[in-house]
Structure 1
Amino acid sequence: MEHPILHFLNDAQKAAVTSDAAALLVLAGAGSGKTRVLVHRMAWLIQEDHLSPHSLLAVTFTNKAAQEMKGRIEGLLGRPANTLWIGTFHGLAHRLLRTHARDARLDENFQILDSDDQLRIIKRVMKELGLDEEEWQPKQAQWFINAKKDDGLRPKDIAHNGDLYTATMCTVYQAYEEACAQGGLVDFAELLLRAFELLRDNAHLRVHYQERFQHVLVDEFQDTNAIQYAWIRLIANGRNRITIVGDDDQSIYGWRGAKIENIHKFQQDYSGADTIRLEQNYRSTNTILKAANSVIANNNDRLGKNLWTSGDEGEPISLYTAFNEQEEARYVAARIEDWVNQGNSYNESAILYRSNAQSRVMEEALLQRQIPYRIYGGLRFFERAEVKDTLAYLRLLSNRNNDAAFERVVNTPTRGLGLKSIENIRATAKVQNCSLWDASSHVIEHGLLPARAKNALLGFQTLLKNMDDETEEFELHQKIEFIIEASGLLDMYLKEKGEKGLARKENLQELVTAARNFDVAEVEEEEQELTPVQAFLAHASLEAGDTQAESYQDCVQLMTLHSAKGLEFPLVFIAGVEEKLFPHQMSMEDPDSLAEERRLCYVGITRAMKKLYLTHAEKRRMFGKESYPSLSRFVREIPASLIEEVRITAQVSQPAFSSGLGLGQQADDSHGFQLGQMVEHPRFGIGVILNFEGSGPQTRIHINFESAGPKTLVLAYAKLSAV
């Protein structure tokens, strides 16, 4: 009779649960039941291998996942498992440091800093170092410090080799560390680094935990960064056993420090490690899985697996070609309406997109049809800080007496006005019974501010006057574009590193697009007497004020593809499947970044359970520019037999599959090369194919060479060979 813990598990899952390997890699494909395997493996180790819960260490990436796993283990065992160490990397590191604060050289009552408090301290130490915030952005320093900690580096470990930026950031890092030590403060990145150093530098503790934790289990291993992997290596070091669960095909967080190479490194560091593949999918139809497999197969250096299901073949994937982004959004909204009219619920559907800025037109289309929606893990377009900052400048230009707008931007970007100076302006406004703008003129005129603050305030007033003069004859979108540049907002947000800074820039560009497309004639009749600026500001306020659905309400979920990982929906739309949008233009010339974009596509496709729509526009105005994008290479990597094209009307002259490409083809088959393929050139060396133009011998091939950079070659003369 089969053991109860193994009930309802497939053969691969049973093998993973019962394995007695000293080191085990469970390569778990999307929707293959990895959480189920982890939970059942822990229950098996406790019940059948007679390990105490006290001797298990299980690491997850969210507190919610940790709590869910613990509850399910207790359900399987029929008893509490309170002594089980299960939690996030940060949570477990915190537990270690609290237990061994003295060995970790910490105050026993140390406090944890959140991101805002950390930034506040960085600003303080930079001021003490005499660094100008205009030249040395505190947020940039925060990013530098956290990134170095994630790589396991202290200031003394970082070589600057005469580079002014790196040398300055190291000085800030050192001063920040001293300030934290003095105040008994620990930030999130410090939790991991300090816990690693605690075990590295204290042999007695290291041996104690290696012997105590007889089995270490790690979830989502492909998302670990350098310091997390180093920490795991110290604890699981041959005295005990280790199980890691992950999927190299779902490694999509390289931009925030996750290292896909960790999952490859595991097999080297734990020689003889067993690998078990979970390939049976319990989420999606066979059509959706075939599409996902076809796309991800184009990535090199995979550990390799092929998703399959014993379920239905399912509907074809629908590919919709819209005239522009507005029509794309209207089509998506209409299909969701059809879905609900067939007896389904809104919350069974999700709209996924590569860029946050894409949400704006989707939100408009849903609002027009009164479809409830929620931005998953984010803000609606007009609620985003960078958008609100720009609109505050526009409001103040339109009406100098707008106190809320004045307060928002008088020191954004920072221009040397401290809280005391702003409080002085507030107090003057109250006494004089006037606006903050008029009060600022009063304090300047009567010398009520220190010289530096006075000059900063004068500079702000001059900036506004110059903006007014320069943009007097500008159209609405031109005025907004000028504000973004002249105010310094764009420069300020560009200094934020990684995806966050890029998203802010794209949202600012999308605001320009929104203004360009704004039609005053479509506003309510009583508002038609307003100027275009006033009408647009009213429109933005109403859009922001029309709150999104609460989390408990039946509503459509909108989210970026990055946010969608771990979720599933019966109906999924992936919008904007176009070259330079998805894959993103910032990733197209780097093979590693392009591979991560393809993994992101794989993640997006495998979110769909029953029905998947891919949509793109033949003409798109986005990021402030109009373009005629070609269909994403990722769609062209899906076999034509899995896709049905939806073209409601004849649209712009450019065909959906530009450059003569059809579904399921990479290019003219006669030349034998494919997008993403590694090739060698006699002069330029090794490179990756990024795109094709034309067909036959005169095909122009865009290649990014490792040493020579991007080149465009004519096929007939290129003398390329496959690598």
Structure 2
Amino acid sequence: MAPLTGDPAAPTDRPRVEDAVHSPEDIAARLRLPPPTQEQAEVVTAPLTPRLVLAGAGSGKTATMADRVVWLVANGLVRPDEVLGVTFTRKAAGELAERINGRVDALLRSGLEIPGFDGEPEDLGRASVSTYHSYAGALVRDHGLRIGVEPEARLLGDADAHRLMGAVVRSHPVVADALGVAPSRLITQALRLAGDMAEHLVTADEVRGFLARLAEQGSALPLPPRAKTPSKEIQEFLTGLADRALMADLVARYDEVKREQDVMDFGDLLRHAARIAVEVPAAGEQERARFPVVLLDEFQDTSHAQMRIFAGLFGPRGPEDDAPGLGHCVTAVGDPHQSIYGFRGASAGQLFAFPHAFPRLETGPGGAPRRVNADVSHLTIAWRNEEAILAVANAVAAPLNAHAAAAGGTP
């Protein structure tokens, strides 16, 4: 079985998607599974190009992702060991890996003939499924030296990070006194700011500069009628900005201490991985060759840094990518109504940014290649609840959906 490639000019003896000989319905029958819905079948048999799948709660997204891999394997389009799945928790990663590899195993036991493959089942390997943080850690271990980061640096746990920030706070008593908060609270707030900065890929200097501009704008606001000083609200706003700038100073010192002690926290892991994805072309080349098919689960909970990692590795890298038909086979699955990690920089907006960040390419007017947004599919049938419960849920959500639509969002 020849390597799968996104380059239409590269030689390959694999079938094309349009030449698939095994349908999703045939495979489901062979595996004694329910046949896919029309929406699920669209995702399962989609071209090997970027795609966003908006999937509601209980719509069978995990099963559909597994069926997608099984269909690709059954038709000789990919080997299981060429598939990367990424999700948030170790539990979810284990479940996704079990679902994908279990169904592939069942497919191989069924005796189905895979086009272009005449080896032993174990030769096909296993799909790789990881958490977002574990995948970032692997990138840093493999390529950290390319950006001047020691890949064997010790990773701090929450308790270690708290102790280290505590030492930083105690070494800056003036900051603690100026902010007027208990040291324990200050440590927690400083660590939260450090995490936010890492998730958004901003430095302490950038934070301080942004706060200074805000303070300048606030100070320039007109005074209330017959007032000689700014209102209480404006004064509190300006004080809050000054406090935040002092917190940024603590984070800057915290980063210095981590470098001095050759340690990193989870925020550093994401920041370094994002740099590698953007600044080290060899990393992208290696990952694209290793994983022709990528599945990104729970994408509504990704942060800006995580988007940068995967767009840097698997998105278009430059003019050399502008050839018709290109666009790595990355499928992101998520539900904007289930975004739960806003406290750490995640946003459902990342979900809707996917089609632009992972464009596919087609032939435009005059034969010139042009980038167009990735395709979007929907899984709208919920299997988890009875119709009466869904009717109540839709009635409760209707005002929210109407508000989102009026504001230009996606209900």
Cα separation, 1, equivalents of 2:244 and 2:328: 40
Larger helix percent: 2
Letter in 1 for 2:153: F
2:144 aligned with 1:101:
yes
The residue number in structure 2 matching 1:534 is: none
CA contact (8 A) 1:26 1:243 kept: yes
Instruction: Name the TM-score, length of structure 1 as normaliser.
Output: 0.40
Task: Summarize the Cα distance change of 1:185–1:210 in structure 2 as closer, same or farther, 3 Å threshold.
Answer: same
Gaps of 5+ in 1: 305-590, 600-723
Indicate yes or no: 2:368 matched with 1:290. no
1:349-428 equivalence runs, <5 A: none
Gaps of 5+ in 2: 1-21, 106-120, 216-240, 317-326, 360-371
- Give the greater-gyration-radius structure (CA): 1
Q: Superposed, which structure 2 residues align to 1:308-319 within 5 Å? A: none
**1:638-690 deviation line (CA, Å, top 9, x unaligned):** xxxxxxxxxxxxxxxxxxxxxxxxxxxxxxxxxxxxxxxxxxxxxxxxxxxxx
Percent of aligned pairs sharing the same letter: 28
**1:34 to 1:265, Cα distance in 2 relative to 1, 3 A:** same
Asked if 2 retains the 8 angstrom alpha-carbon contact of 1:101 and 1:108, the reply is: yes
Match of 1:156 in 2: 205
Q: 2:153 aligns with which of 100, 103, 110?
A: 110
Name the counterpart of 1:184: 262
Q: CA deviation at 1:157?
A: 2.9
Q: Whole-Å Cα distance in 1 between the matches of residues 333 and 403 of structure 2?
A: 15
Out of 232, 240, 252, the position equivalent to 2:328 is 240
Cα offset for 1:210?
3.2
Q: How does 1:477-556 map to 2 (within 5 A)?
A: none
**1:76 and 2:103 equivalent?**
yes
CA distance 1:268–1:303, change in 2 (3 Å): farther
Work out whether 1:202 is the aligned partner of 2:280: yes
Q: CA deviation at 1:254?
A: 2.7
1:3 to 19, 23, 26: 26
* Equivalent AA in structure 2 for residue 289 of structure 1: L
Q: String of CA shifts for 1:344-398, please: whole Å, max 9, x gaps.
A: xxxxxxxxxxxxxxxxxxxxxxxxxxxxxxxxxxxxxxxxxxxxxxxxxxxxxxx
Q: Whole-Å Cα distance in 1 between the matches of residues 37 and 55 of structure 2?
A: 13
The whole-number CA distance in structure 2 between the counterparts of 1:165 and 1:82 is 54
Give SS of 1:266's match.
helix
Shift of 1:49: 4.4
Aligned to 2:75: 48
AA aligned to 1:120 is R
State how far apart, in whole Å, the 2-side matches of 1:110 and 1:45 are: 39
The letter of the residue matching 1:20 is P
Secondary structure of 2:288's counterpart equals: helix
**Pairwise CA distance, 1:199:** 1.8
Q: Which residue, 235, 239, 250 being the options, matches 2:338?
A: 250
Distance 1:82 1:302 in 2: 48
Residue 116 of structure 1: how far off its partner (Å): 1.6
- Measure, in 1, the Cα distance between the counterparts of 2:284 and 2:77: 24
The Cα offsets for residues 168-191 of structure 1, whole Å up to 9 and x where unpaired, read as 222212211111112221111221
Tell me the secondary structure at the aligned position of residue 22 of structure 1.
coil
Tell me which of 49, 53, 56 is aligned to 1:22.
Answer: 49
1:274 matches 2:274: no
Q: Counterpart of 2:400? A: 299
SS of residue in 2 equivalent to 1:107 = coil
Which one has more relative contact order, counting CA pairs under 8 Å at least 6 apart?
Answer: 2
1:129 shift after superposition: 3.0
> How far apart in 2 are the matches of 1:110 and 1:302?
48
Tell me the amino acid that sits aligned with residue 263 of structure 2: L
Contact 2:48–2:329 under 8 Å retained in 1: yes
* 1:92 to 1:14, Cα distance in 2 relative to 1, 3 A: same
Q: Does 1:262 align with 2:350?
A: yes
> Is the contact between residue 123 and residue 138 of structure 1 (CA under 8 Å) also seen in structure 2?
yes
Residue correspondences, number: 309
Secondary structure of the 2:333 match is strand
Give the direction of change, closer, same or farther, for the CA distance of 1:230–1:101 in structure 2 (3 Å limit). closer
> Are the equivalent residues in 2 in contact too, given 1:102–1:108 (CA < 8 A)?
yes
Supply the AA of the counterpart residue of 1:23. P
Given that residues 301 and 348 in structure 2 are in contact (C-alpha distance below 8 angstroms), is that contact kept between their aligned partners in structure 1? yes
Partner secondary structure for residue 25 of structure 1: strand
Instruction: Flag the structure with higher strand content.
Output: 1
Say whether the 8 Å CA contact 2:195–2:344 is kept in structure 1. no
Shift in Å, 1:287: 0.9
Is the Cα–Cα contact under 8 Å of residues 21 and 273 in structure 1 kept in the other structure?
no
Preserved contact between residue 248 and residue 302 of structure 1 (Cα < 8 Å): no
1:38 aligned onto 2:27: no
Alignment map for 1:552-563 (pairs within 5 Å): none
